[in-house]
């Protein structure tokens, strides 16, 4: 392809524009070039300062930071693009390619310097990393840069055998006029291997480029050369793979001077640049860099030639915004600014989450423990924490993060709920009692008519006596018998157990024998229950260890302490069960009247059943004539006495053994029930509670630790090499994350462009026109200090010696010796110096002859009874953390809020579970300061119905000087008689105003009280009434109501009035706000009159603009308020 020549006329123009002289520009000249102004807007500089601080804190090794990456195919012109953007001359050699990633960090500094270092690849060994980190060189001229790059190449071990490296050469360029900017130049993608570039090199470069462009916070400058068909340039394929929509990809086309003018090839490239072929959301850009024979040209000459080239041919038809280096810088500036504003809040959130995670992991590791004393202290802390959790779990006190939320979808004894040990034990004890009642006896006895023969107590249902065959213990096969069959078996036992008792009575030991047989399954059921409890206790202790101990300590403490303690407890429980079982096998003993009561009930029930049967058999039907009007007969039933008595006589048991068997069976039934209740209780108390649950408090008791020898202490608490390395890694990461957070907090106090970051509200000092001189004598007096006449100065110090009202740290306020220094000032310890210098940024206050500086950013100091407006920033288990512009976050306990409907009751666990339904993060509320603690933190309450969640309004934050009297501090919300009131606005109806003394203000649509009248009856244009008990039917709703446009405009007007008061240095209270509002209406009337006199057809536009209270209008409004105040 032929290279077109520039027309002769254009060459002449170029020659006339070029500066002569072959001397290379100095470093200062390069750094001071005005071409970089496109990258140095104030807003962008603030954000880039933040990113630079994050990068210097080392955060790039932990999180992905926003960056610009220049990538493309080999020899596509990447380095030339980078050079044109930064105007920094990079070394060039024929057939030289980028062999490693080069990070160019431009940083604003007082002195000009260039520092170079190598950031080793994470895949290198520790020795190689250490060696590469030693590479650190500083130069003072860009002419030395080629030798530095050669040295870095050698240090990375690049030779003929190794062509590329994953190490990064970091070049930090400092200068007073440089922007804060970081760009990365990546090696060019290789299509195929050759004699100097192997297949491994091809894969290495591919993976290196992909690792950069796959990062979501990376802006990709995809450079392609017009010398090659763009369809064959693989960088485009990679960009569309990792950024399908081109949301962070800006395509850059270089070398358009190689295209033949007017050719189809040129047309296709122009279509590409116009974003009509391969679409990127960020679009494309066209550059003409210096050719091989133009390297001696300065950057100004290069830019001039590019401008001439793009003003010719079809390139002249392209929009100026997509061609040339100047417009690229502007696009890059806007793109980077928007990208940072979008990504930094997300980065802040990730940073905080990672910092919390690292902090938790470090807490689990505990303090470093190299000595026995450190190890004992570490174990003491661990034992204390673990013992507290064990005690809370046993006592059923489930407060704290360890116990978590109740999982109602799982069983009570499931693993998800096993941390609540007392609840699990109670549940298993209940299950044990149910098993004993339903499956504890061996025989199921029923009457011949199918009714259960097992008599139940008053507390039991008939179903309790039903025995499931599947639920039998291993004591025998399930036998479902009638009472007649059981009596027959008892007779057989009597016959084989007969002693010297009278026939018709049973041997006293018969009941004992029958009881042993019927209760044979009790021990197995109790042992199974004890094993279940022991297992749940072990699971509970394991959870405690997982929460409080490191994996290494957990393994050691389990083997050395926990397992032996649990085994001993289980063995003691089984021994206790053995003793109880032995007691049950002794002769029957009971002094419980329940036995005789039950026995009498059983026998009475049997007789009642028999009498009922006899009565039915003795009943006869008699047809009798009725004696009512009319003939008729009526059937009646009568019991024949003779038949009834004879039937009773027939029921007398003549079989003496059968009679004795029935008596013994009734006795067994009563005794069994008595012993069953005792057995259930004694297992729960003596086996479970005494030997399994109660000893858990001794597992981590302090006296256990005191018995350990130094050898045991070392075995438990000594750190392994892995733990030591892990701690060092976490501490290093924690330091990086902390510095990153501090960088964010610093930026939050400076960058208005960063105000969308989600964190606690920070009040920024207002910016305003100097409407009036706010320097005034706060407490001027004609009295002087008590001094001798010879030393007494003039009556008043000179005001002319005092600087402006607002001063900055280090600024000289005055050099007049008649003034004395107060808070916020100091006098240098230099002889004969009378300068008074500010130590903080703030306003100058004068009291007699004392000068003080009150800080602009003073924080609110809570006082009991203050009405404050705040924002929820954190939701905890039983409280909320609230930002009220104080040095410490305030807390709002769950017990201090008003429940829906105004219900007064104790807060329950259900209230804790739905705590976010009351207030969530980001919610605004109005509250009262209830308590101020020793550290200055405040506790709030919203128990009154006039407090609570805020809706339907506008939040306004003014200077954080809340709580002042308004005279000494000058501006901000002040404590006054009424902080809440309603304004009857002229056009938007009633509007509520809440002036939090902490400097946070809420202006909203009025909340109607049902007791209010429909109208106030006032004839004045503006009035205010008391705002009493703002009761909302949806007090915790987050849904705003429909607010009319007129009301929204009036809310805006009131907010504007308050801003003007703050900016004008006027205190903010009910009186000044009402005066400002009335003054704004009066100014509207004046403008309306002037519009009528000189209507220019723009009346509607002017009317809409009346809600703007800035400039001259603000000055007039302030003057009106001050005049009315005087």
Confidence band for 625, pLDDT divided at 50, 70 and 90? low
Q: How many CA atoms lie within 13 A of 788 on its CB side?
A: 2
Where do runs of H (alpha helix) occur along 57-198? 78-86, 126-133, 145-155
Q: Cα separation of 1060 and 1110, whole Å? A: 8
Measured distance CA(542)–CA(533) in Å, rounded: 14
- Mutual orientation of helices 593-617 and 641-650 as an angle, nearest 10°? 130
Given a contact cutoff of 8 angstroms between Cβ atoms, the answer to whether 958 and 973 are in contact is yes
pTM above 0.85, yes or no: no
Nearest CA among 111, 195, 192 for reference residue 161: 195
More confident residue, 739 or 852: 852
Instruction: Please check whether residue 697 is in contact with residue 569, taking contact to mean a CB–CB distance below 8 angstroms.
Output: no
- Cα 1035 from chain centroid? 25
Own/partner pairs, 474-482, CB within 8 angstroms, 24+ separation: 474/521, 474/524, 475/442, 475/520, 475/521, 475/524, 476/442, 476/520, 478/444, 479/442, 479/443, 479/444, 480/444, 480/446, 481/443, 481/444, 481/445, 481/446, 482/445, 482/446, 482/447, 482/448, 482/453
- Per 3-state DSSP, the chain is made up of helix, strand and coil in percentages (nearest 5) of 45, 15, 40
Q: Per-residue pLDDT for 940 more than 90? A: yes
* pLDDT exceeds 90 at position 913: no
How far apart CA 838 and CA 822 sit, in angstroms, is 10
Q: Which residues contact 851 (CB under 8 A, 6 or more apart)?
A: 802, 813, 814, 819, 820, 821, 822, 825, 836, 844, 845
Tally of CB atoms within 10 A around 1004: 22
Query: Alpha-carbon distance 479 to 483, whole Å?
Result: 12
Q: How far is CA 246 from CA 74, 185, 230, 284, in A?
A: 22, 20, 16, 10
- Supply φ then ψ for residue 420, to 5 degrees: -90, 75
Q: Over 486-499, what HEC string results?
A: HHHHHHHHHHHCCC
At the top level of CATH, which class does the domain 867-1033+1040-1125 belong to? mainly beta
Name which of 672-676, 769-773, 842-846 the model is least confident about. 769-773
- What's the angle, vertex CA 746, arms to CA 740 and CA 748, rounded to 5? 105
The confidence score (pLDDT) of residue 461 equals: 38
Q: Where are the domains of the chain?
A: 8-17+24-348, 415-538+554-594+656-698, 867-1033+1040-1125
Residue 929 has pLDDT above 80, yes or no: yes
Phi, psi of 471, rounded to the nearest 5 degrees: -95, 10
Say if residue 117's pLDDT is above 60: yes
DSSP H or E stretch at residue 990: strand 990-995
Mention every residue, 6+ apart, whose C-beta is less than 8 A from residue 294.
302, 305
List, for residues 777-805, the tens digit of each pLDDT value.
434 444 443 444 444 433 334 444 454 46
State the first-to-last Cα distance of the chain, in angstroms, to the nearest integer.
85
Q: Which two tokens stand for residue 96?
A: 């030289």
Residue 41 binned pLDDT confidence (cut-offs 50, 70, 90): low
- Of 767 and 262, the one with more pLDDT: 262
Give the C-alpha separation, 529 to 526, whole Å. Answer: 5
Fold that domain 8-17+24-348 belongs to in CATH: Rossmann fold (3.40.50)
CA 534 to chain CA centroid, nearest Å: 38
1043-1053: pLDDT as tens digits: 888 898 999 99
pLDDT tier at 609 (50, 70, 90 boundaries)?
confident
- Cα 613 → chain centroid: 76
| Helical spans, DSSP H, in 449-521 | 483-496, 508-518
Mean pLDDT of 109-135: 83
pLDDT of residue 64: 66
- Least reliable range by pLDDT among 57-66, 223-232, 328-337, 582-591: 57-66
What are the tens digits of pLDDT across the range 303-334?
A: 888 898 888 888 888 898 899 988 888 888 77
Q: Is the model more confident about 774 or about 855?
A: 855
pLDDT digits (tens, 9 = 90+) for 725-770: 888 778 877 877 777 777 666 655 444 333 343 333 333 344 444 4
Cα 529 to chain centroid distance, Å, stands at 42
Across the chain, what does the average pLDDT equal?
75
Residue-wise over 552-575: b if at least 16 C-beta within 10 A, else e?
A: bbbebbbeebbeebbeebbeebbe
Q: Going by C-beta distance under 8 Å and a sequence separation of 6 or more, which residues neighbour residue 22?
A: 296
pLDDT tops 80 at residue 855: no
Q: For the sheet containing 136-139, what is the strand order? A: 136-139, 113-119, 168-175, 101-108, 181-185, 67-72, 218-225, 249-254, 284-286
Question: Does 128 have pLDDT greater than 80?
Answer: yes
The three-state secondary structure class of 814 is strand
Token pair 């409407």 is found at: 771
Residue 84 to residue 709: CA distance in whole angstroms: 71
Integer Cα distance of 112 and 202 in angstroms:
38
The answer to whether residue 573 scores a pLDDT higher than 80 is yes
Residue 857 has pLDDT above 70, yes or no: no
Strands of the sheet containing 1000-1005, edge to edge, are: 953-957, 1000-1005, 990-995, 980-984, 1023-1026
- Segment 938-967 shows an average pLDDT of 74
């Amino acid at each position: 392809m032929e290279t077109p020549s520039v027309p002769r006329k254009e060459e002449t123009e170029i020659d006339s524009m070029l500066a002569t002289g072959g001397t290379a520009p100095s470093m200062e000249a390069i750094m001071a070039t005005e071409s970089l102004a496109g990258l140095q807007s104030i807003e962008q500089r603030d954000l880039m300062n933040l990113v630079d601080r994050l990068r210097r804190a080392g955060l790039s090794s932990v999180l992905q930071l926003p960056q610009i990456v220049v990538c493309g195919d080999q020899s596509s012109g990447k380095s030339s693009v980078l050079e044109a953007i930064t105007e920094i001359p990079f070394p060039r050699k024929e057939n030289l390619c980028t062999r490693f990633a080069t990070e160019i960090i431009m940083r604003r500094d007082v002195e000009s310097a260039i520092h170079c270092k190598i950031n080793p690849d994470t895949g290198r060994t520790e020795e190689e990393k250490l060696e590469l980190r030693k590479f650190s060189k500083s130069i003072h001229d860009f002419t030395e840069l080629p030798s530095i790059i050669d040295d870095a190449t050698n240090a990375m071990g690049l030779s003929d055998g190794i062509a590329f490296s994953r190490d990064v050469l970091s070049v930090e360029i400092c200068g007073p006029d440089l922007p804060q900017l970081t760009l990365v130049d990546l090696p060019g993608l290789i299509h195929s291997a050759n004699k100097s570039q192997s297949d491994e090199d091809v894969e290495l470069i591919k993976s290196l480029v992909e690792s950069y462009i796959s990062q979501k916070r990376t802006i990709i400058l995809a450079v392609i050369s017009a010398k090659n068909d763009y369809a064959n340039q693989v960088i485009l394929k990679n960009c569309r793979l990792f950024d399908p929509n081109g949301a962070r990809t800006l395509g850059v086309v270089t070398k358009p001077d190689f295209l033949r003018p007017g050719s189809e090839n040129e047309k296709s490239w122009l279509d590409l640049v116009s974003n009509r072929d391969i679409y990127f959301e960020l679009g494309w850009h066209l550059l003409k860099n210096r050719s091989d024979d133009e390297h001696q040209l300065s950057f100004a000459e290069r830019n001039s030639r590019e401008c001439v080239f793009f003003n010719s041919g079809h390139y002249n038809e392209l929009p100026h915004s997509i061609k040339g280096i100047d417009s690229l810088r502007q696009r890059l500036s806007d793109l980077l600014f928007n990208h940072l504003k979008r990504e930094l809040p997300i980065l802040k959130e990730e940073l905080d989450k990672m910092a919390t995670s690292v902090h938790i992991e470090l807490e689990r590791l505990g303090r470093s423990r190299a000595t026995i004393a450190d190890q004992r202290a570490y174990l003491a802390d661990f034992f204390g924490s673990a013992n507290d959790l064990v005690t809370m779990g046993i006592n059923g006190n489930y407060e704290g993060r360890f116990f978590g939320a109740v999982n109602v979808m799982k069983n009570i004894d499931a693993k998800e709920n096993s941390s609540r040990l007392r609840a699990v034990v109670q549940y298993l004890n209940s299950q044990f009692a149910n098993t004993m009642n339903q499956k504890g006896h061996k025989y199921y006895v029923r009457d011949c008519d199918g009714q259960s023969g097992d008599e139940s107590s008053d507390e039991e249902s008939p179903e309790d006596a039903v025995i499931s065959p599947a639920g039998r213990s291993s004591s025998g096969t399930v036998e479902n018998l009638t009472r007649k069959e059981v009596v027959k078996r008892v007779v057989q036992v009597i016959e084989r157990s007969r002693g010297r008792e009278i026939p018709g009575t049973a041997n006293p030991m018969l009941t004992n024998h029958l009881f042993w047989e019927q209760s044979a399954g009790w021990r197995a059921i109790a042992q199974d229950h004890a094993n279940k409890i022991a297992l749940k206790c072990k699971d509970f202790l394991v959870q405690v260890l997982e929460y409080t101990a490191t994996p290494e300590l957990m393994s050691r403490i389990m083997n050395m302490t926990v397992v032996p303690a649990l085994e001993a407890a289980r063995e003691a429980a089984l021994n206790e069960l053995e003793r109880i079982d032995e007691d049950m096998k002794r002769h029957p003993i009971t002094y419980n009247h329940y036995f005789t009561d039950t026995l009498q009930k059983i026998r009475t029930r049997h007789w009642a059943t028999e009498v009922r049967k006899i009565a039915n058999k003795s009943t006869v039907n008699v047809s009798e004539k009725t004696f009512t009007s009319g003939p008729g007969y009526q059937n009646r039933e009568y019991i024949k006495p003779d038949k009834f008595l004879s039937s009773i006589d027939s029921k007398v048991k003549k079989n003496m053994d059968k009679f004795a068997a029935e008596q013994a069976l009734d006795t067994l039934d009563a005794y069994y029930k008595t012993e069953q209740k005792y057995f259930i209780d004694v297992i729960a108390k003596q086996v479970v509670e005494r030997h399994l649950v109660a000893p858990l408090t001794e597992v981590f008791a302090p006296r256990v630790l005191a018995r350990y020898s130094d050898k045991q202490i070392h075995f438990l608490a000594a750190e392994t090499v892995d733990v030591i390395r892990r701690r060092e890694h976490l501490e290093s990461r924690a330091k990086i994350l902390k510095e990153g957070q501090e960088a964010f907090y610093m930026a939050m106090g400076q960058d208005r462009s960063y105000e969308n970051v989600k964190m606690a509200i920070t009040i920024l000092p207002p910016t305003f026109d100097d409407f009036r001189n706010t320097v005034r004598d706060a407490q001027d007096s004609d009295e002087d200090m008590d001094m001798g006449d010879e030393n007494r100065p003039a009556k008043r110090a000179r005001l002319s010696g005092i600087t402006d009202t607002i001063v900055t740290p280090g600024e000289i306020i005055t050099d007049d010796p008649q003034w004395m220094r107060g808070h916020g000032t100091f006098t240098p310890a230099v002889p004969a110096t009378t300068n008074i210098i500010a130590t903080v940024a703030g306003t100058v206050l004068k009291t007699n002859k004392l000068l003080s500086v009150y800080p602009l950013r003073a924080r609110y100091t809570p006082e009991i009874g203050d009405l404050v407006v705040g924002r929820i920033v954190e939701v905890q288990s039983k409280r909320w953390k609230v930002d009220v512009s104080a040095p410490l976050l305030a807390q709002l306990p769950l017990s201090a809020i008003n429940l829906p409907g105004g219900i007064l009751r104790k807060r329950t666990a259900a209230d804790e579970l739905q705590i976010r339904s009351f207030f969530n993060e980001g919610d605004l509320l109005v509250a009262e300061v209830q308590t101020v603690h020793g550290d200055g933190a405040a506790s709030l309450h919203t128990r009154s119905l006039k407090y609570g969640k805020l809706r339907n309004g506008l939040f306004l934050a003014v200077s954080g000087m809340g709580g002042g009297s308004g005279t000494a501090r000058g501006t901000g919300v002040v404590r006054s008689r009424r902080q809440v009131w309603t304004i009857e606005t002229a056009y938007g109806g009633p509007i509520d105003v809440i002036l939090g003394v902490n400097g946070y203000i809420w202006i909203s649509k009025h909340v109607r009280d049902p007791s209010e009248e429909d109208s106030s009856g006032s004839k004045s244009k503006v009035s205010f009434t008391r705002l009493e008990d703002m009761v909302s039917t949806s007090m915790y709703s987050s849904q705003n109501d429909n607010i009319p446009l007129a009301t929204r405009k009036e809310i805006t007007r009131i907010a504007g009035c308050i801003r003007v008061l703050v900016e004008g240095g006027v205190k903010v209270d009910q009186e000044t706000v009402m005066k400002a509002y009335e003054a704004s209406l009066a100014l509207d009337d004046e403008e309306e009159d002037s519009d009528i006199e000189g209507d220019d057809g723009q009346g509607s536009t002017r009317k809409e603009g009346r809600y703007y209270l800035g400039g001259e209008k603000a000055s007039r409004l302030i003057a009106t308020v001050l005049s009315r105040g005087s």
